[in-house]
Protein backbone atom coordinates (compact mmCIF):
# COMPACT_ATOMS: atom_id res chain seq x y z
CA UNK A 1 0.00 0.00 0.00
CA UNK A 2 1.24 3.56 -0.68
CA UNK A 3 2.44 5.39 2.34
CA UNK A 4 -0.11 7.89 3.70
CA UNK A 5 1.09 11.53 3.82
CA UNK A 6 1.87 12.62 7.35
CA UNK A 7 2.13 16.31 6.57
CA UNK A 8 -0.09 18.04 9.10
CA UNK A 9 -2.32 20.97 8.20
CA UNK A 10 -2.88 24.03 10.32
CA UNK A 11 -5.60 26.63 10.10
CA UNK A 12 -4.58 30.20 9.34
CA UNK A 13 -6.80 33.27 9.47
CA UNK A 14 -6.53 36.87 8.24
CA UNK A 15 -8.67 39.85 7.23
CA UNK A 16 -8.43 41.13 3.66
CA UNK A 17 -10.72 43.82 2.26
CA UNK A 18 -14.32 43.22 3.31
CA UNK A 19 -13.73 39.65 4.48
CA UNK A 20 -12.15 37.52 7.16
CA UNK A 21 -10.43 34.65 5.38
CA UNK A 22 -9.29 31.25 6.64
CA UNK A 23 -7.53 28.30 5.03
CA UNK A 24 -6.11 24.94 6.07
CA UNK A 25 -2.53 24.73 4.82
CA UNK A 26 0.72 22.97 5.78
CA UNK A 27 2.61 26.23 6.34
CA UNK A 28 2.32 30.00 6.57
CA UNK A 29 3.90 30.24 3.12
CA UNK A 30 1.21 27.98 1.67
CA UNK A 31 -1.50 30.03 3.38
CA UNK A 32 -0.11 33.28 1.94
CA UNK A 33 -0.05 31.68 -1.51
CA UNK A 34 -3.67 30.54 -1.15
CA UNK A 35 -4.72 34.06 -0.14
CA UNK A 36 -2.77 35.55 -3.05
CA UNK A 37 -0.93 37.82 -0.63
CA UNK A 38 2.04 39.75 -2.04
CA UNK A 39 3.53 40.45 1.39
CA UNK A 40 3.99 38.54 4.64
CA UNK A 41 0.73 39.18 6.50
CA UNK A 42 2.00 37.22 9.49
CA UNK A 43 4.93 39.60 9.99
CA UNK A 44 2.51 42.51 9.63
CA UNK A 45 0.37 41.13 12.43
CA UNK A 46 -2.81 40.75 10.36
CA UNK A 47 -2.67 36.97 9.97
CA UNK A 48 -2.25 34.17 12.49
CA UNK A 49 -2.69 30.49 13.15
CA UNK A 50 -6.01 29.81 14.84
CA UNK A 51 -7.30 26.94 16.99
CA UNK A 52 -10.93 28.11 16.95
CA UNK A 53 -12.72 24.74 16.69
CA UNK A 54 -15.43 25.99 14.33
CA UNK A 55 -12.90 27.61 12.00
CA UNK A 56 -10.62 24.57 12.16
CA UNK A 57 -13.49 22.20 11.39
CA UNK A 58 -14.64 24.31 8.42
CA UNK A 59 -11.19 24.62 6.88
CA UNK A 60 -10.18 21.01 7.49
CA UNK A 61 -13.31 19.94 5.64
CA UNK A 62 -12.05 21.84 2.57
CA UNK A 63 -8.24 21.97 2.85
CA UNK A 64 -6.50 24.37 0.52
CA UNK A 65 -9.77 26.22 -0.21
CA UNK A 66 -9.97 29.82 1.06
CA UNK A 67 -13.12 30.30 3.15
CA UNK A 68 -14.58 33.73 3.88
CA UNK A 69 -17.06 35.60 6.01
CA UNK A 70 -17.86 39.33 6.33
CA UNK A 71 -15.08 41.07 8.23
CA UNK A 72 -15.71 41.35 11.96
CA UNK A 73 -18.72 39.00 11.94
CA UNK A 74 -19.20 35.76 13.84
CA UNK A 75 -20.83 33.96 10.92
CA UNK A 76 -19.56 30.60 9.73
CA UNK A 77 -16.79 30.58 7.14
CA UNK A 78 -17.97 29.54 3.66
CA UNK A 79 -16.58 29.57 0.13
CA UNK A 80 -18.85 32.52 -0.74
CA UNK A 81 -19.82 35.20 1.75
CA UNK A 82 -22.21 38.16 1.66
CA UNK A 83 -20.82 41.67 2.02
CA UNK A 84 -21.40 43.30 5.42
CA UNK A 85 -24.86 44.91 5.45
CA UNK A 86 -23.56 48.36 6.45
CA UNK A 87 -21.40 48.36 3.31
CA UNK A 88 -24.18 47.01 1.12
CA UNK A 89 -26.49 49.84 2.27
CA UNK A 90 -23.93 52.43 1.16
CA UNK A 91 -23.40 53.91 4.62
CA UNK A 92 -21.38 57.11 4.19
CA UNK A 93 -20.01 57.03 7.71
CA UNK A 94 -16.26 56.57 8.10
CA UNK A 95 -15.28 52.92 8.06
CA UNK A 96 -14.32 51.58 11.42
CA UNK A 97 -10.69 50.65 11.84
CA UNK A 98 -10.11 47.00 11.07
CA UNK A 99 -10.04 44.99 14.22
CA UNK A 100 -6.79 43.22 14.87
CA UNK A 101 -7.01 39.47 14.81
CA UNK A 102 -7.22 38.34 18.38
CA UNK A 103 -5.51 35.24 19.59
CA UNK A 104 -8.08 32.63 20.51
CA UNK A 105 -7.65 30.36 23.48
CA UNK A 106 -6.49 26.84 22.82
CA UNK A 107 -9.46 24.71 21.92
CA UNK A 108 -10.11 21.68 23.97
CA UNK A 109 -11.41 19.85 20.89
CA UNK A 110 -8.51 18.89 18.57
CA UNK A 111 -8.67 17.36 15.15
CA UNK A 112 -7.77 13.72 15.56
CA UNK A 113 -4.91 12.12 13.63
CA UNK A 114 -7.13 10.43 11.07
CA UNK A 115 -8.97 13.65 10.22
CA UNK A 116 -5.68 15.52 9.95
CA UNK A 117 -4.27 12.91 7.58
CA UNK A 118 -7.41 12.98 5.48
CA UNK A 119 -7.29 16.78 5.39
CA UNK A 120 -3.61 16.70 4.43
CA UNK A 121 -4.36 14.22 1.65
CA UNK A 122 -7.22 16.41 0.42
CA UNK A 123 -4.93 19.45 0.48
CA UNK A 124 -2.33 17.62 -1.57
CA UNK A 125 -5.05 16.51 -4.00
CA UNK A 126 -6.12 20.14 -4.41
CA UNK A 127 -2.50 21.16 -4.97
CA UNK A 128 -2.12 18.45 -7.62
CA UNK A 129 -5.31 19.64 -9.32
CA UNK A 130 -4.04 23.22 -9.40
CA UNK A 131 -0.66 22.06 -10.70
CA UNK A 132 -2.39 20.02 -13.42
CA UNK A 133 -4.38 23.10 -14.42
CA UNK A 134 -1.19 25.17 -14.56
CA UNK A 135 0.50 22.53 -16.73
CA UNK A 136 -2.55 22.38 -19.00
CA UNK A 137 -2.54 26.17 -19.39
CA UNK A 138 1.20 26.18 -20.06
CA UNK A 139 0.77 23.44 -22.68
CA UNK A 140 -2.02 25.44 -24.34
CA UNK A 141 0.18 28.54 -24.40
CA UNK A 142 3.07 26.51 -25.86
CA UNK A 143 0.76 25.09 -28.54
CA UNK A 144 -0.46 28.58 -29.41
CA UNK A 145 3.12 29.88 -29.59
CA UNK A 146 4.10 26.99 -31.87
CA UNK A 147 1.08 27.62 -34.12
CA UNK A 148 1.91 31.33 -34.29
CA UNK A 149 5.58 30.58 -35.02
CA UNK A 150 4.58 28.21 -37.84
CA UNK A 151 2.25 30.83 -39.32
CA UNK A 152 4.99 33.47 -39.13
CA UNK A 153 7.53 31.11 -40.72
CA UNK A 154 5.11 30.25 -43.55
CA UNK A 155 4.33 33.91 -44.24
CA UNK A 156 8.03 34.83 -44.12
CA UNK A 157 8.92 32.00 -46.52
CA UNK A 158 6.22 33.15 -48.96
CA UNK A 159 7.50 36.73 -48.78
CA UNK A 160 11.11 35.65 -49.33
CA UNK A 161 10.12 33.48 -52.32
CA UNK A 162 8.10 36.30 -53.90
CA UNK A 163 11.00 38.72 -53.36
CA UNK A 164 13.46 36.34 -55.06
CA UNK A 165 11.11 35.86 -58.03
CA UNK A 166 10.67 39.63 -58.34
CA UNK A 167 14.42 40.20 -58.27
CA UNK A 168 14.95 37.56 -60.98
CA UNK A 169 12.27 39.12 -63.19
CA UNK A 170 13.64 42.60 -62.61
CA UNK A 171 17.13 41.42 -63.57
CA UNK A 172 15.75 39.79 -66.74
CA UNK A 173 13.91 42.99 -67.65
CA UNK A 174 17.04 45.08 -67.05
CA UNK A 175 19.07 42.70 -69.23
CA UNK A 176 16.47 42.88 -72.00
CA UNK A 177 16.38 46.67 -71.67
CA UNK A 178 20.18 46.86 -71.99
CA UNK A 179 20.05 44.66 -75.10
CA UNK A 180 17.34 46.88 -76.61
CA UNK A 181 19.41 49.97 -75.85
CA UNK A 182 22.37 48.42 -77.69
CA UNK A 183 20.18 47.51 -80.65
CA UNK A 184 18.68 50.98 -80.71
CA UNK A 185 22.13 52.57 -80.62
CA UNK A 186 23.39 50.29 -83.41
CA UNK A 187 20.30 51.08 -85.49
CA UNK A 188 20.83 54.80 -84.97
CA UNK A 189 24.48 54.53 -86.11
CA UNK A 190 23.46 52.52 -89.19
CA UNK A 191 20.76 55.00 -90.05
CA UNK A 192 23.07 57.97 -89.62
CA UNK A 193 25.57 56.45 -92.05
CA UNK A 194 22.89 55.49 -94.56
CA UNK A 195 21.21 58.90 -94.33
CA UNK A 196 24.51 60.71 -94.86
CA UNK A 197 25.32 58.60 -97.93
CA UNK A 198 21.88 59.07 -99.45
CA UNK A 199 21.85 62.82 -98.81
CA UNK A 200 25.21 63.13 -100.56
CA UNK A 201 23.83 61.20 -103.53
CA UNK A 202 20.78 63.47 -103.60
CA UNK A 203 22.92 66.60 -103.67
CA UNK A 204 25.02 65.25 -106.55
CA UNK A 205 21.93 64.45 -108.58
CA UNK A 206 20.68 68.02 -108.13
CA UNK A 207 23.94 69.62 -109.16
Q: Which residues of the chain have pLDDT under 70?
A: 1-7, 80-113
* Cβ partners under 8 Å of residue 207, min gap 6: none
Q: At what angle do helices 113-206 and 53-61 cross, to 10 degrees?
A: 50
Do β-strands 10-16 and 19-25 pair in parallel, antiparallel, or remain unpaired?
antiparallel
Give CA–CA dist 99/82, Å, rounded: 19
Give CA–CA dist 25/124, Å, rounded: 10
Give CA–CA dist 28/25, Å, rounded: 7
Residue 140 confidence (pLDDT):
94
Give CA–CA dist 180/176, Å, rounded: 6
Q: DSSP assignment, residue 22? A: E
pTM above threshold 0.95: no
CA dihedral 146, 150, 152, 155 (to 10 degrees): -170
Q: DSSP assignment, residue 93? A: S
Give CA–CA dist 132/140, Å, rounded: 12
Amino acid sequence: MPKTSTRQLKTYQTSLGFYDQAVAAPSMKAALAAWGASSNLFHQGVAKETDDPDVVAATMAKPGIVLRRPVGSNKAFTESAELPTDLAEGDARPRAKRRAVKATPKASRKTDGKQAREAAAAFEKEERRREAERRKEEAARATERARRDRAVATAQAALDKARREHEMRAEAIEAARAALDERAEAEQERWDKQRTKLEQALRKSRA
